[in-house]
């Protein structure tokens, strides 16, 4: 049983009641909505005669289906047009704040929440999307829910949830050059497995995690669900406070100071007890690349695929046990998704392109998609988009893009894509035979230039 | 929805572990704004690749209400459409070694019974089905026991498990989680809200509605 962790404190503060069966009725402090998982929930709300109980704690956007090039309406895809019309109708009928297409606040739901300061420490946050864990980077309890649960939150601002155990994952020491936040979470999932986190919340701690900025912490928390953990979080600290200071939906002045005091009181202190603790050394982590069809099937960029690697996964990917992944030719490079589409990611990637004067290799289709309108504006103000364009990337409009095949950005046929997204499942990127290799933005850029899977540490050698 | 006290019928296996929800229902079907019509598309891409040999395409499996799976079933995306696809195809219960959390949470409100059994029992079920495809499976939600009957004689049986809250939903027929959540009263919910510093501070007053 965990005690005195941030998880316990936030859980207790949001407990409405504990049921005889042991579940908690948990108040949800922030409900984020997007177009894909909500239409049937709103229909059910109408059928059952409910109103949204806390419209002021609800915020909606569109991200999964939006095209990243031509965004004029009606969309070419009839179903996508119906879907965006449905959410527009629903937010209007139920009085929900909406960052729609053309709104300066629009973007991937897990990018805009923190950007706008909607996401804050000490909240419970729910959204009909498994990568809701991202918001845990701010010291919140954030998790993905299904459509029926979306209805529960809309009508009651609560959910029945069984309290998970809490496992602390300490990554201490320092990361080596060429190793980034994405590599850290890929290494964690590699170590603990894709089902290691079932029944657990993950607390990420240690000096490596503490040294990450907020956007890098979001990359780590984002992929908690790929390790089976519903929730992943980092204790709030000075970085968290400075990131949030002055953001649109964050109070100012004395109200801010009071909130900060509360945020810092929630952190896992010296009396925190965890159900389990795992320790890792940052120096052991190389740039990581996946070789298989789940995010746990990965190796270091210069290492060989294990001899006992799953044969079915290898066959699908067209790879062999024991082989070096490095040097495998690629067809597509994608910089984007809720995992890695924030200013830090583009600064890192652009910095590498500039330093080594990189160009996308002939025959490689490369795409860079900012996670939100605000990120796009910021990155363009710094002139970074020109670096991507000159190198041969298409610079897109904000959205989920090539992560998951619900908008026009898709793989074709047997294409092999190096991607900063979070899932390499069969068919994930839109072609049943398409193949995905997950890696960090730095590794994607190095690979795009090489026209093959590359180890970013070898650049300039 | 009415009470579900047991599930009885023939079963078939879906081999493999970590079967993810992108495979159960490909993302292109998530653009449907209804909650129905997903049955024909369950495992669509896996089935196309298997050219008629996929367990969901074998004629003897059509109509069978019980599916036997490995570990971490339903991992990945939170799409409830995965549950809808399985239920609309005709699956009433899944016996597995473990289930991904969000998938499991989506299953009960849709009347899909998901129970855990040990690795050894799951292997024995798979082995039994290769020898005797017509074996009858029974899952009893009152006792939380399963049995496998061959020629009307109990072949073997044992314990199975599911979260208590799901078991209660099935055996009481109390499906409507929304009604249950609201039954505590809006005042009780408001009280918790007003004790939260970020709600007191009017964290949303920077621009959200109100």
Which tens digit of pLDDT belongs to each residue from B120-172? 999 999 999 998 889 999 999 999 999 999 877 778 999 999 999 999 999 99
Partner residue opposite A145 with nearest CB, options B78, B110, B209: B78
Its pTM stands at 0.95
Tokens of A199: 């029944």
Say if CB B157 and CB B148 are below 8 A apart. yes
Residue B125 is assigned to a structural domain of this protein: yes
Give the pLDDT confidence of A230-263 residue by residue, as tens digits: 999 999 999 999 999 999 999 999 999 999 999 9
If asked whether residues B163 and B182 sit together in one domain, one would say no
Residue B1 lies in a domain: no
Are residues B128 and B204 both part of a single domain? no
The ipTM, to two decimals, is: 0.93
Shared domain for B72 and B54, answered yes or no, is yes
Residue range A96-111: average pLDDT? 97
Q: Which pair of tokens denotes residue B108?
A: 């009960």
Helices (H), A323-393: 343-355, 373-381, 384-391
Q: Are residues B107 and B29 in the same domain?
A: yes
Range of B93's domain?
6-174
B81 and B183 within one domain: no
pLDDT tens per residue, range A30-78? 999 999 999 999 999 999 999 999 999 999 999 999 999 999 999 999 9
* C-alpha closest to that of B18 among B81, B84, B78, B100: B100
Percent of chain A with pLDDT over 90: 98
Contact A220, A212 (CB under 8 A): yes
Residue A418 CA, chain-centre distance (Å), reads 17
Does residue B210 share a domain with residue B120?
no
| Same domain flag for B162 and B182 | no
The pLDDT, as a whole number, for residue A43 is 96
Both B169 and B192 in one domain: the answer is no
Nearest to A427 among B26, B102, B184 (CB): B26
Q: Any idea which residue has 């392109």 for tokens?
A: A353
Does residue B180 share a domain with residue B166? no
Residue of A27, A39, A55 for testing the chain B interface, max B β-carbons within 10 Å: A27
pLDDT band for position B210 (50/70/90)? very low
Q: What is the pLDDT of residues A353-374, one digit of tens each?
A: 999 999 999 999 999 999 999 9
Count CA within 13 A, CB hemisphere, residue A254.
1
- Count of beta carbons in the 10 Å neighbourhood of residue B135: 16
**Contact residues on chain A for B50, CB-CB shorter than 8 A:** none
- Least confident span in A92-101, A235-244, B199-208: B199-208
Domains of chain A: 6-161 (3.30.499.10), 165-283 (3.40.1060.10), 287-458 (3.30.499.10)
pLDDT of amino acid A388: 98
Return the DSSP state at A112: H
Q: Average pLDDT for residues A11-21, to the nearest whole number? A: 97
To test the contact with chain A by mutation, choose from B33, B73, B83 the residue with the greatest count of A C-beta atoms within 10 A, namely B33
- Assign residue B139 the CATH number of its domain: 3.20.19.10
pLDDT (0 to 100) of residue B200: 77
* Same-domain pairing of B85 and B39: yes
pLDDT digits (tens, 9 = 90+) for B29-55: 999 888 899 999 999 999 999 999 999
Place of tokens 């600290």: A237
Residue B76 lies in a domain: yes
- The pLDDT, as a whole number, for residue B207 is 38
Per the structure block, which two tokens stand in for A308? 């006992």
Is the predicted pLDDT of residue A405 greater than 90, yes or no? Answer: no
Cβ A16–B189 below 8 Å, yes or no? Answer: yes
**Confidence (pLDDT) at B201:** 63
B108 and B204 co-located in one domain: no
Which chain B residues have a beta carbon less than 8 Å from that of A97? 208-209
**Would you place residue B202 in the very low, low, confident or very high pLDDT band (cuts 50, 70, 90)?**
low
**B88 with B140, same domain?**
yes
Contacts of B186 in chain A (CB under 8 A): 53
All residues at 6 or more sequence positions from A89 whose CB lies less than 8 Å from its CB, including other chains = none
DSSP for A38-56 reads: THHHHHHHHHHT---S-GG
| A430-439: pLDDT as tens digits | 999 999 999 9
Total domains, chain B: 2
A83–B78 C-beta distance less than 8 A: no
């Amino acid at each position: 049983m965990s005690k005195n962790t941030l998880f316990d404190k936030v859980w207790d503060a949001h407990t409405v009641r504990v049921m005889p069966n042991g579940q908690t009725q948990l108040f949800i402090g922030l409900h984020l909505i997007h177009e894909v998982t909500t239409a049937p929930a709103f229909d059910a709300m109408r059928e059952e005669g409910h109103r949204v109980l806390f419209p002021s704690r609800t915020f909606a956007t569109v991200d999964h289906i939006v095209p990243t090039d031509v965004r004029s309406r009606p969309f070419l895809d009839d179903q996508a047009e119906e879907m965006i019309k449905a959410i527009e109708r629903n937010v209007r009928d139920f009085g929900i704040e909406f960052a729609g297409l053309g709104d300066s606040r629009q973007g991937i739901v897990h990018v805009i929440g923190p950007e706008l300061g909607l996401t804050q420490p000490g909240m419970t946050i729910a959204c009909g999307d498994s990568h809701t864990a991202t918001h845990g980077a701010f010291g919140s309890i954030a998790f993905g829910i299904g459509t029926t649960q979306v209805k529960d939150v809309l009508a009651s601002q609560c959910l029945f949830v069984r309290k998970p155990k809490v496992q602390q994952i300490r990554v201490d020491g320092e990361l080596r050059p060429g190793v980034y936040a994405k590599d850290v979470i890929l290494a964690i999932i590699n170590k603990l497995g894709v089902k290691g986190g079932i029944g657990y919340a993950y607390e990420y701690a240690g000096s490596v995690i503490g040294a990450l900025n907020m956007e890098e912490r979001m990359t780590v928390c984002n992929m908690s669900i790929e390790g089976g953990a519903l929730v992943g979080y980092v204790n709030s600290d000075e970085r968290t406070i400075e990131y949030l200071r002055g953001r649109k939906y964050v109070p100012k002045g004395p109200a801010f100071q009071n909130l900060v005091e509360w945020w810092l009181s929630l952190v896992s202190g010296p009396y925190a007890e965890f159900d389990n603790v795992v320790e890792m050394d940052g120096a052991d982590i190389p740039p990581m690349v996946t070789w298989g069809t789940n995010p746990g099937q990965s190796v270091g960029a210069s290492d060989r695929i294990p001899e006992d690697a799953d044969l079915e996964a290898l066959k699908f990917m067209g790879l062999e046990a024991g082989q070096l992944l490095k040097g495998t030719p690629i067809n597509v490079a994608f910089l984007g998704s809720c995992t890695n589409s924030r200013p830090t990611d583009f600064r890192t990637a652009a910095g590498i392109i500039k330093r080594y004067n990189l160009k996308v290799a002939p025959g490689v289709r490369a795409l860079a998609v900012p996670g939100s309108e605000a990120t796009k504006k910021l990155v363009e103000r710094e002139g970074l988009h020109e670096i991507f364009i000159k190198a041969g990337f298409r610079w897109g409009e904000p959205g989920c893009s090539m992560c998951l095949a619900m908008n026009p950005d898709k793989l074709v046929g047997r294409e092999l894509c190096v991607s900063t997204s979070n899932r390499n499942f069969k068919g994930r990127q839109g072609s049943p035979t398409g193949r995905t290799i997950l890696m960090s933005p730095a590794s994607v850029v190095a690979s795009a230039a090489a026209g093959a899977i590359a180890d970013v540490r070898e650049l300039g050698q | 929805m009415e009470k579900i006290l047991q599930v009885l019928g023939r079963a078939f296996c879906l081999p493999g572990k970590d079967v993810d929800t992108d495979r159960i229902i490909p993302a292109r079907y998530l653009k449907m704004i209804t909650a129905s019509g997903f049955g024909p598309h369950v495992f669509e891409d896996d089935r196309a690749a298997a050219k008629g040999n996929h367990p969901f395409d074998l004629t003897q499996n059509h109509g069978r209400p019980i599916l036997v799976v490995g570990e971490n079933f339903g991992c990945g995306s939170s799409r409830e459409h995965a549950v809808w696809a399985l239920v609309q195809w005709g699956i009433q219960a899944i016996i597995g070694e473990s289930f991904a959390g969000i998938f499991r949470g989506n299953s009960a409100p849709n009347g899909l019974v998901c129970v855990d059994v040990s690795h050894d029992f799951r292997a024995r079920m798979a082995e039994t089905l290769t020898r005797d495809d017509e074996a009858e499976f029974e899952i009893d939600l009152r006792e939380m026991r399963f049995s496998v009957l061959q020629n009307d004689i109990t072949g073997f049986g044992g314990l199975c498990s599911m979260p208590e809250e799901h078991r209660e939903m099935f055996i009481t027929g109390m499906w409507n989680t929304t009604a249950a959540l609201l039954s505590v009263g809006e005042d009780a919910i408001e009280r918790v809200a007003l004790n939260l510093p970020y709600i007191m501070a009017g964290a949303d007053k920077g621009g959200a509605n109100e």
